[in-house]
Chains A and B, each alone.
Chain A
Amino acid sequence: MSNRPITMLIAALGGEGGGVLTNWLIEVADRSGWLCQSTSLAGVAQRTGATIYYLEFIRREDAGADPVLSLFPSQGDIDIAVTSEIAEAGRMLSRGFVSPKRTTLISSDHRVFGITEKSAITDGAIDTPMLIELAERYSKRFVSFNVDTLVKRHGTVISAGLLGAIAGAGVLPFDKAIFAEIVAGNGASTANMAAFEDSFLTAQRHDGIPLEGDEPAPFILPEPSSELGATLLPQIAALPPAIHEVCYHGAQRLVDYQDLSYAQQFLVRVVRLVERDSAAGHYELTSEAARWLALWMAFEDVPRVAQLKLRPEREASIREEVKAAPNQLLKVTEFFHPRVEEVAAMLPTPIGRWLVNSAISRRLLTAVLGPRKLRTDTIATQLVLRGLASVRHWRRATLGFYLEHQMIDRWFNAVIGASDDALALALADCGRMVKGYGATRHRTTTQLMAIIGGVEGGGVSTSEQVRKLYSAAMTQPDDQLFQIALSPPNKSFMV
């Protein structure tokens, strides 16, 4: 019973080339005088689902006796587990396929987000460091690095990188030359060969070395580089160092958004937060409230969106993102959908009010507005955007500014006036709810105002209540859960 098969599990996502990788391994084994039996659950492999390949390798006997190989991976019986992504490594752990006594776990440490992570209203992404820690703890050996970036650097797909990692980890008794020969074999893809080689060396290097955590360097307030800086930075420097970073970014944003005095208006409020906060001795409240305050004060009205679309460095980042060749022509078509509300928000308050309330002008405007595709690389559109961006000069007189600041004030006063620190912090965190455009934005701010209304009216008085309402609002993209949380129905059936 000396000749035991080497067992290997490959977990990949549909379309990642798990089948190609498996076929390469079969060929490598075959060329090395080994038999490889593989099987897979390919039924759901095409459409992004998680899929599993299972391979067993055994040295061919001269006598030609047929080994009986298993088609099932078994808990505690896996020598090598390969996963194309770190959450899939977690899945293999949770299914018991990684054993501390036996299994070498080879995994790329990048993430491919699942639909529940992507569709969350806030941040649904899972805790990757926790997964890496578990993978290290529960595997006999953990070979892990970002195979995704590596293969992208070589312009190829993850299967070639994983093959390199498997060969580099030295878990299979086959020569590197044979691996390389197989990768080079079909189609002679130089990208695949380069990725294989790179991944091979990286796997050797990374073996057993714990992944270094990249602790961000502590923030140091920079020296002023302009007159604006010379005015604002000393004001920020006078605040507690723990909040320098948020204040710096906030002030910077608001100068860019409006002007110096708008940024100062922000800092005045920060000072009030610091006064409210210093009693507690730390600045968590200030930090969070200042973050959301700055973001809210720089609310995305039409002039702001136009301003952002005109950023001089924007074209370069688009070119890089879509991998355009140098000098390749691009057409950039933006999808805008201005509604009457957005137009009214740009107008002086009384006119804007009249517009929103007048049925006739509403109807007239609706006819002209609606879905628009605008080529922002054209001269005409750029001129229009410049016109819209310049509205920011009289922004303080617009309806939008008035309405937003009314809400900001109510929220800010509720934070400052909260009866206890926990409530203040919970209310500050609710600033995160302010997001989206159009109907989404309307829903989230209305929900936030309902929470503030509850605090003002005395119906909501504890941080637990606020957090419950917050999570009800942020769990589902409609208002249902929030309304139930706001006024729990009595036990009769809903009609």
Chain B
Amino acid sequence: MAERSFAQEVMKLRAGAGEVFKGEGILAITKALLQSGVSYVGGYQGSPISHLMDVLNDAQGILGELGVHFEANGSEATAAAMLSASINYPLRGAVTWKSTVGTNVASDALSNVASSGVTGGAMVIVGEDYGEGSSIMQERTYAFAMKAQMWLLDPRPNLTSMVDTVEKGFELSEASNTPIFYMMRIRGCHVTGEFVARDNVAPAFNKTHPVSPQREPEKIILPPFVYAQEREKIQHRLPAAIDFIQRERLNEFFSGMHEHLGIITCGGSYNTVIRALERQGLADIYGNVDIPIYCLNVAYPLVPEELVEFCSGKEQVLVLEEGQPEYIEQGIQTALRRADLQTRVYGKDIMPMAGEYTGQVMLEGMTRFVLASKRAHIPLALSLEDVLALETPLSQDDIAALMEELPPRPAGLCTGCPERPIFSAVKQLQEELGPFHISSDIGCHSFATAAPFNLGNTIMGYGLSLASSSAMRHTLPHKAISIMGDGGFWHNGLTSGVTSAVFNGHDGLLVVIDNGYSAATGGQDIPSLVQPNLIASTIDAELPKRHEWQSIEAACRGAGVKWIRTISSYNIDAMKRTLREALTTAAPGLKVIIAEGECMLNRQRRVKPLLKKAIAEGKRVDRARFYVDPETCTGDHGCVRLSGCPSLTIKDNPDPLRIDPVSYVDNSCVGCGVCGTNAHSAVLCPSFARIDLVHNPTRFDTWKAQWRQRFSQWWRERDRRRWVASRL
């Protein structure tokens, strides 16, 4: 039940030849895959390509009609291994994941498929999670492309180029027997635009047209074949790729009047280059440029002949390549040196080594590059000083004032999140048992490393928290604590973590946060989806698709864990008790606490329509939400520090004497109960109340309420009289 449904949008995937397709980049890529006649698709979700998995999931009807096989893989390694279908058979296939983290996980299979080589086109669509909006460490996929020899496509970020490049990419893969990386940047994934569609193509082989099994021993990655495969890469596949790239003109040349200059850019940065030139009066908005551009839609391999052709006769060129190391720049230098070309290559000497090439960075670099030319003076719309001044119009004082005041706004746990009470419990227990070192993991729960919980010391990768705690469990003053999500557990944690920990006699604590979904990536289904969630793959599917679920507890027991407790995450007291027991017990071996609670975003999507329906049908329904009594709240905000719930906020103190704002529950409250439970377990204050709004009360309810009213009425009148009398 992904958080975003593409049920409407996937209808666009049926568009036939000549129809104009309007939509998001991700959807266009899916359409391109269908136009390319893929036989199988798979992948693992993660920003920025989560939606690609969601689209594929929601498009299963269309995929089924065409005979395309889809799998929501267990991990990127599983997805990469799917590419082996293309080794022996002319099957086209594509898998997708978040990079570089996913590529790290997948790289074993990738190296092998790249060594074997492919017969059918094999493509990995990587969501390059680099720059603003990224959620991971900053690295590039480029190194993987080079070391395993996979070609890396980085098309211009308009839908037509993106779609064409997918189709050409499969041809390139087949022409050179090499699997391909197709790189999508964050903004490219979400860019909206349009392109003219072509018909979808059913794969040549599928359920109804099976392949005939065949063995090609020379494609197995064992000696002696591996040596031949390496030679094959160099002697045949690379030249074939370069030949194809040149013949099909995958890279683009744009001519301009200042021929002594040149810009070499990756396709993904092309639009930013044009905008920078346009602002300097060196291009128009339609891409007509004064400085020639060589646009690398294939970022790897480089094509030396094209580079030499482009640079010949040029005084200087500027290489625009985001991130580091500057592989492309080095490659260009090598190509030019071998050809003994004297063109001055500017790159990381005037461009920043780290970070995205944003509009401002590009404008500044371009300006420096043009000014560096010793030949004819080229008039610029903005001087370098102008450009630098654009950075900010603010005075130093105002910048400082803003830095001081602006509240950081990191992503945090949603309203009613079932993970919040777990961290409330851990934080309370920390007060008791001293400061904790916690090995954290990837997932929503990693937000606990930030305010207000500030719990967690390291994050080593998806499903790796338990593994990472092994390193220091012998040096900690308390039993090692690892926190892992259910997504991470199935992705990697069961094998790399639990199995290994039991094997090595790890006696620490693993908390598995079981919210039923891969929540951080957008609420995709995972193996341990449980009843009564009635799991459906999107909010639009009415029936559960999965009839069997795989239990985390059974998996742990299977791996040899003896001490396992499953607790509702909202029961903070039980959680505290169990955590305390796990951390203080003399029982040997790994302790696993499974903290259960359904992802609130998914739950709300599931429950809200049901609730509305029940109310409309006249059924008695209680709808809960919380309330802070502004009269008793003294404004110390201890409740916020144990919660951080978006709906628990502050407002001006209505008391004429008090200054500090009172805590306040706004109307987005879903009534999960954590504030009340915290008020109890941390002995906070008497200000929290749960208000149940009763819909369609029974006659008995109404009768009781009337009696209560009658009773309170008398007192109230008396109270009111006294109140008036006590006014000065």
Contacts and interface: CB of A to CB of B under 8 A. Distances in A.
A48 B412 contact: yes
Contacts, number: 371
A58 B285 contact: yes
B626 to A, nearest CB: 9
Q: Which of A47, A88, A96, A308: most chain B Cβ within 10 A?
A: A47
Contacts of B399: 94
A32 interface: no
Interface in A33-51: 36-44, 46-50
B429 to A, nearest CB: 14
Contacts of A226: 724-728
A325 to B, nearest CB: 8
Point out which of B135, B660, B728 has the most chain A C-beta atoms below 10 A from its C-beta: B728
A90 B411 contact: no
Which of the four size classes fits the interface of chain A? 35 or more
Given A1-B285, A329-B694, A308 B407 contact: no
Contacts of A373: 676, 690
Contact of A321 (B601, B627, B635, B702): B627
Nearest to A288: B659
A87 B398 CA distance: 14
A300 B393 contact: no
A392 interface: no
A312 interface: yes
B421 interface: no
Given A249-B656, A438-B684, A134 B398 contact: yes
Given A96-B394, A246-B657, A333-B689, A90 B406 contact: yes
Interface string B643-681: 010101110000011111100000100000000110111
A49 B410 CA distance: 5
A145 B210 CA distance: 65
Nearest to B689: A334
A210 interface: no
A382 B712 contact: yes
Given A138-B394, A329-B697, A37 B192 contact: yes
A366 to B, nearest CB: 12
Given A323-B667, A437-B686, A48 B407 contact: no
A268 interface: no
Interface in A280-326: 291, 294-295, 300, 305, 308-312, 314, 318, 321-324
A237 B284 CA distance: 75
B650 A74 contact: no
Contacts of B646: 15, 48
Interface in A71-123: 71-77, 87-88, 90-91, 93-96, 98-100, 112-123
A42 B271 CA distance: 20
A252 interface: yes
B693 interface: yes
Interface in A343-360: none
B359 A70 contact: yes
B414 interface: yes
A364 B356 CA distance: 65
Contact of A119 (B444, B644, B690): B644
Interface centre among B188, B649, B657 (most CB of A within 10 A): B657
Contacts of B129: 43
A379 B708 contact: yes
A4 interface: yes
Contacts of B403: 94
Contacts of B408: 114-116
Nearest to B721: A312
B406 A87 contact: yes
Interface stretch (A60-68, A453-461, A463-471): A60-68
A294 B657 contact: yes
B685 interface: yes
B164 to A, nearest CB: 13
B267 to A, nearest CB: 12
B631 interface: yes
B108 to A, nearest CB: 27
Interface string A213-240: 0000000001011101100110000000
A93 B394 contact: yes
B274 A68 contact: yes
A116 B625 CA distance: 24
A77 B361 CA distance: 13
Contact of A37 (B193, B272, B660, B676): B193
B680 A376 contact: no
A130 B400 CA distance: 12
A187 interface: no
A118 B637 contact: yes
A42 B190 contact: yes
A72 B74 CA distance: 34
B525 interface: no
Contact of B650 (A117, A225, A246, A314): A117
B684 A90 contact: no
A493 to B, nearest CB: 16
A252 B724 CA distance: 12
Interface in A122-156: 122-123, 125-127, 130-131, 134, 138
A5 interface: yes
A44 to B, nearest CB: 4
A331 interface: yes
B686 A336 contact: yes
B495 interface: no
Contact of B680 (A13, A44, A337): A337
A50 B716 contact: no
A444 interface: yes
A113 B407 contact: yes
A477 interface: yes
Given A39-B192, A46-B414, A114-B407, A72 B728 contact: no
A232 B728 contact: yes
B728 A436 contact: no
Contacts of A275: none
B412 A49 contact: yes
A87 B392 CA distance: 17
A332 B689 contact: yes
A435 B632 CA distance: 11
Given A58-B285, A253-B657, A75 B390 contact: yes
A41 B728 contact: no
A436 B390 contact: no
A68 B631 contact: no
B726 A43 contact: no
B186 interface: yes
Chain A CB count within 10 A is highest, among B47, B274, B392, B694, for B392
B160 A66 contact: yes
B48 interface: yes
B77 to A, nearest CB: 23
Contacts of A432: 659-660
A54 B649 CA distance: 29
A233 B683 contact: no
A391 B521 CA distance: 55
Contacts of A224: 728
Closest 10 CB pairs of A and B: A74-B359, A114-B407, A41-B133, A76-B390, A49-B411, A43-B47, A229-B728, A371-B680, A331-B692, A329-B694
20 contacts: A4-B285, A37-B191, A41-B132, A90-B402, A96-B360, A100-B393, A224-B728, A226-B724, A248-B728, A294-B657, A305-B686, A314-B629, A329-B697, A329-B705, A336-B686, A337-B679, A371-B573, A437-B684, A437-B686, A477-B638
Given A90-B406, A115-B412, A331-B694, 6 more contacts: A47-B414, A67-B286, A71-B272, A312-B723, A333-B691, A432-B660
Interface of B: 3, 22, 47-48, 129, 132-135, 157-158, 160, 186-188, 190-193, 270-272, 274-275, 278-279, 281, 284-287, 356, 358-360, 363, 390-394, 398-399, 401-403, 405-414, 431, 444, 447, 450-452, 522, 573, 601, 622, 625, 627, 629, 631-632, 634-638, 640-641, 644, 646, 648-650, 656-661, 667, 676-677, 679-681, 683-686, 688-695, 697, 701-702, 705, 707-708, 711-712, 715-716, 719-720, 723-728
